[in-house]
Amino acid sequence: MIEIEHQPGAERLQQLGVFDWPVWEKEVSTFPWHYAEREICYLLEGEVTVTPEEGDSVTFGAGDLVTFPAGMACTWAIHAAVRKHYRFG
């Protein structure tokens, strides 16, 4: 299941070390994705709808902290260009 923390506070982000994570950017597009391991990401910019093969679609955007489970196959639909910090594991 995809977990979303909408607008987490600065203390939470600092605790996780979010701003030390790598940055990934992607233009408006739609593509399939499979998570070999858990990913946590923090969106700096953009809006996305992720539709798992099993489960309900979720939409999130700038300022959201999102956790994707290992083993999940899904489709990403990027509505506004994404810039995010991310960490696997």
pLDDT tens-place string over residues 32-87: 999 999 999 999 999 999 999 998 999 999 999 999 999 999 999 999 999 999 99
Tokens of residue 5, six digits: 């923390």
Residue range 1-8: mean pLDDT, rounded: 96
Report the alpha-carbon distance of residue 54 to residue 74 in Å, rounded: 8
CATH for 3-88 is 2.60.120.10
pLDDT per residue as tens digits for the range 11-33: 999 999 999 999 999 999 999 99
Sign (positive or negative) of CA dihedral 70, 72, 73, 79? negative
